[in-house]
Amino acid sequence: MFCISFYSKALYNTPKIIRDFINYAEVCFREFGDRVLYWNTMNEPNVFTIGGYDQETTPPIRYSPPFCQKYNSSRGDSTTEP
């Protein structure tokens, strides 16, 4: 997860951004650390989602509506696909 306020910053590779991200991570750990065992950062999680549900390039590759709006696909049934 990436804090939306970071998108308004002009430069991402600066000491201030590094401090901001550390502060953000510390808040997450403090607020959710008692409930979260494993932490992972993902670069561009939207790419995975778009690829799996619209462009059919990454799992789970859902082929049928309401997924896969890019194509009028009848290759699958999203109600029964695992």
| Catalytic residue (one of 31, 44, 56, 81) | 44
Instruction: Return the DSSP state at 28.
Output: H
Token representation of residue 52: 């799996």
* DSSP-H helix ranges across the chain: 15-32, 45-53
> In whole angstroms, what is the distance from residue 66 CA to residue 10 CA?
36
31 annotated active-site = no
For the annotated catalytic residues, the residue numbers are: 44
